[in-house]
Amino acid sequence: MEKIVENVEDLGKVAREFAQTLNEGDVVLLTGDLGAGKTTFVKAVAKALGFDGLVTSPTFTILNEYAGKMPIYHFDMYRLKSCAEAVESGLDEVLRSGEGVCFVEWPQKVAGILPKNSIMIDISVIDENARKIRISEAK
């Protein structure tokens, strides 16, 4: 699936629709440039899944956890240098648990430990407001 959104509100709408397709154990890989809207997408999904608090980028904490209808794990691998660091961050444990839904920003940095049946979301910047969102099966 591919969609062009013209603003943040439309990005949120796509994210809320996507949230309705998620199940426990799903792993969602988010790619896109800095500032493309990856965390904004997760924020809208978390709200759709019943989390009413603040969703922030886990760039410096590596992992943020949110309690919604199911646990939401939000990882950011941007600062990591190896898969070993990802394992230390708890990513491997979350992936093996099959609990909740796991979002991984910058997954290319830890591709070696990610499950093959993940969902890939690529957010491309078209201009200051518009984005192209591509949702597919990870390969």
**Number of domains observed in the structure of the chain:** 1
**Domain range holding 132?**
2-137
pLDDT, tens digit (0-9, with 9 covering 90-100), for 120-134: 999 999 999 999 999
CA distance 34 to 19: 22
Q: What is the CATH number of the domain that holds 19?
A: 3.40.50.300
Residue 82: what pLDDT? 84
C-alpha distances out from residue 104 to 6, 27, 114, 126, 130, Å: 24, 8, 9, 22, 22
Residue 122: what pLDDT? 97
Give strand ranges (E) for 22-90: 27-31, 63-67, 71-76
Q: Is residue 139 scored above 80 in pLDDT? A: no
Cβ–Cβ < 8 Å for 11, 128: no
State percent of the chain over pLDDT 90: 71
pLDDT, tens digit (0-9, with 9 covering 90-100), for 73-107: 999 998 888 888 888 888 888 888 889 999 999 99
Token pair for 68 = 């919604």
